Copies of this chain bind each other. A is one copy, B any other.
Amino acid sequence: MKIALCQINTIIGDLEFNKNKIIACYHKSVNDNVDIVIFPELSLVGYTPQDLVEKKEFREAVNNAVYEISQITGDTAIIFGAITEDDDLIGTDIHNSAILCFDGKVQFIQHKTLIPNYDIFDEMRYFDSAKETKIFEFKGEKLGISICEDIWNDEDYWRKRRYNIDPVKNLIDKGATFLINISASPYAYKKREDRHKMLSMLTMHDKIPLAYVCTVGAHTDLIYDGASMCFDNKGNLVRLGKIFEEDYIIFDTKSSYSPITKTEGTFEEEVLNSLIFGLKEYCQKLNFKNVLIGLSGGIDSALVTYIAVKALGKENVHSVLMPSIYSSEGSISDSMKLISNLGISSDNISIQPVVNEILNMLSPAFQNLPQGVTEENIQARVRGIYLMAISNKFNYLLLTTGNKSEMAVGYCTLYGDMSGGLAVIADVYKTDVYRLANYINKDSEIIPKEIIIKAPSAELRAGQKDQDSLPEYEILDKILRMYLEENKEISEISKSINNEKMVNFVLHLVDQNEFKRRQAAPALRVSTKAFGYGRRYPIVQGWRK
């Protein structure tokens, strides 16, 4: 069996664009004399169309596009992902399906059986589960076709399983000789290795080859890294798609390939590339040519600026320096060095006259009350106004530069530094921001070392340092990582940190700042637990008061 895996980048809801891409890849594959050409999960509609599936006109348009694709097929089979409907009047009546066509018509449809509904996944909201899994005979092979999550419930691999059925095992039991899985699997660091291990064990254990085709691209906050995989019947990974770009892979079960053992780069390579890709995609798909960043002289905005330059080119990245009376000399000189290293444009606009005028106007209302957080927030918000004004005027996408540690504890100002269309590093802890910065500088100094070595400060009052209000980032991030990614309990974290009071203080901040995060810009997800859709906490609640 000779199979082409088309690792394509689709646009959610843009049926015309996706259909044309599928048809073009099909024609190319026909020229390559393959038996079957396969496309990722929901490739015709984009992953995931969310509530668009509730619109009848959308579903009808999908039906029409499926028909059009089926019409162009000949002897070579195509398998692609789309939504389909049933008419049992129970549930949503909509399925997430793999559609197999050849000879000008739809020959077989396999619905998804395991419907993920955890973390960022909401699929039970939309999709009914398949009532059965069937194998499909084609050119002497018995194809076992499954969709993404269907293959993530292997009894041998998982200690705790989410589902009590294993559709892939069912297919093998029914005599499948070749497995196909069409996927759309959101990126998180280390997940590719997981996939590799799990699929390797499955194909080795069941002595069956597998073609696993993944989508690539980014949709707002979610990044899909590609890396389609083919396994022989001994559990060897023999074909691997490109990472963070489209690819076209031929897998011929009659050929011999050398096994591939490495699927994942270092943390720094992986996360940096995913962020660059995520930002590039967001801009491309929303038609933004230029981005805007407020440069504070700190490491977060420096990292975001580097990422933006890599994603869009230096000529499309614009920065603004917005000093106040509390800005250190370094906040300007270090930023200017960064600007020069990266070759980007910049403006320098003091916020002080505006801040002064605001304080002046508010002084009758403020009645000589002592200064405090209010005045700090005013500075952050004036910067927000400047940035949004330039963004509006020139149609630059404003990037927000807060990191995950800040977002977690609310060390950020709503409508101030939280302003922007996309939060580029809001799923990267502060300590990892340093790791990435040092990695960027591995060959030469791109991010000025002054920016890396200075003590973190919001510079919103005289002599302010982050560590006046927060634990050292090494400890803070350890607490946060255990709490968020590892879902550890307070007692466990307190034991590990050996400081119950600090842990309580930090996690209280996390809880209390849910209201800020609810109004935050979407954040590119690179970890297994990001803020946003993947983590749902009530704003009003009384646990751990």
Contact = CB atoms under 8 A, between A and B. Distances in A.
A151 interface: no
B51 A535 contact: yes
A541 B91 contact: no
Contact of A415 (B163, B415, B539): B415
A388 B374 CA distance: 8
Contact of A358 (B389, B538, B542): B389
Given A384-B381, A522-B518, A54 B282 contact: no
A52 B543 contact: yes
Contact of A13 (B118, B122, B378, B538): B538
A276 B47 CA distance: 40
A536 interface: yes
A12 B362 contact: no
Contacts of A52: 537-538, 541, 543
A178 B349 CA distance: 73
B13 A56 contact: no
B220 A538 contact: yes
A390 B362 contact: yes
A508 to B, nearest CB: 13
A82 to B, nearest CB: 14
A355 to B, nearest CB: 9
Given A14-B541, A46-B541, A393 B421 contact: no
Contact of A540 (B51, B286, B540, B545): B286
A427 B385 CA distance: 27
A281 to B, nearest CB: 8
Contacts of A545: 14
Nearest to A539: B220
Given A374-B392, A381-B385, A542-B13, A536 B164 contact: no
A404 to B, nearest CB: 17
A140 interface: no
Contacts of A118: 92, 125
Nearest to A49: B538
Interface string A480-510: 0000000101110000000000000000000
Interface in A460-479: none
A268 B89 CA distance: 35
Contacts of A519: 519-521
A354 interface: yes
Nearest to A421: B515
A386 interface: yes
Contacts of A24: none
Contacts of A349: 361-362, 364-365
A193 interface: no
A58 B361 contact: no
Contacts of A377: 388-389, 392
A490 B49 CA distance: 18
A361 B350 contact: yes
Interface in A24-61: 46, 48-52, 54-58
A204 to B, nearest CB: 24
Contacts of A90: 161-164
Contact of A54 (B14, B347, B487, B542): B487
Nearest to A125: B117
A95 interface: no
Contacts of A91: 162-164
A262 interface: no
A487 B125 contact: no
Interface string A326-354: 00000000000000000000010111011
A160 B89 CA distance: 6
Given A55-B489, A122-B122, A378 B369 contact: no
Contacts of A205: none
Contacts of A392: 373-374, 377
Contact of A51 (B55, B92, B414, B537): B537
A162 B14 CA distance: 29
A357 interface: yes
Contacts of A117: 117, 124-125
A421 B539 CA distance: 10
A99 interface: no
A353 B362 contact: no
A112 B253 CA distance: 48
Given A49-B541, A57-B490, A515-B421, A378 B374 contact: no
B386 A13 contact: no
Nearest to A491: B57
Give the 7 A-B residue pairs with the shortest CB-CB distance, closest first. Answer: A14-B542, A13-B543, A415-B415, A374-B392, A13-B541, A12-B541, A11-B542
10 contacts: A52-B537, A56-B489, A89-B159, A219-B540, A349-B364, A353-B361, A358-B382, A358-B389, A377-B392, A518-B522
Given A54-B487, A55-B489, 17 more contacts: A46-B541, A49-B543, A52-B537, A57-B491, A88-B164, A90-B161, A117-B124, A122-B536, A220-B540, A286-B539, A349-B361, A353-B360, A354-B354, A365-B390, A377-B389, A378-B385, A388-B415
